[in-house]
């Protein structure tokens, strides 16, 4: 569990540092501006791609779990905690 939390912290830092850098960025030369709409759209697109990917992985995992541990599965056996005498 600690490894997962550490992984999520590293991923959050990797996403936040460029976002903060771009949010407060300004050009070196006078008259050089950033188009913040483009930068914001780019960040939104990246985050939505990540969200859809994570959602697909979670949905696939849920489907696999339901299929694997269904009641009619040939290898499904009750555990000792379920109290059945198979």
Band of the pLDDT at 81, cuts 50, 70, 90? confident
Band of the pLDDT at 1, cuts 50, 70, 90? confident
CA atoms within a 13 Å half-sphere pointing along the CA-CB vector of 25 = 15
- Establish if 81 belongs to a structural domain: no
- Establish if 15 belongs to a structural domain: yes
pLDDT tens digits along 25-62: 666 666 667 777 888 888 899 889 999 999 999 999 99
- Establish if 9 belongs to a structural domain: yes
- Establish if 19 belongs to a structural domain: yes
Q: Work out how many domains the chain is built from and give that number.
A: 1
Q: Which domain holds residue 30?
A: 2-68
The pLDDT of 19-27, averaged and rounded, is 70
- Establish if 41 belongs to a structural domain: yes
- Establish if 84 belongs to a structural domain: no
The pLDDT of 60-73, averaged and rounded, is 86
């Amino acid at each position: 569990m600690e490894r997962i939390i550490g992984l999520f912290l590293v991923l959050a830092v990797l996403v936040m540092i460029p976002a903060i850098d771009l949010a407060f960025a300004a050009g070196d030369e006078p008259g050089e501006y950033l188009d913040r709409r483009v930068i914001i759209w780019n960040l939104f697109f990246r985050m939505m791609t990540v969200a859809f990917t994570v959602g697909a992985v979670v949905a696939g995992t849920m489907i696999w779990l339901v299929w694997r541990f269904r009641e009619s599965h040939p290898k499904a056996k009750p555990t000792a905690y379920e109290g059945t005498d198979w």
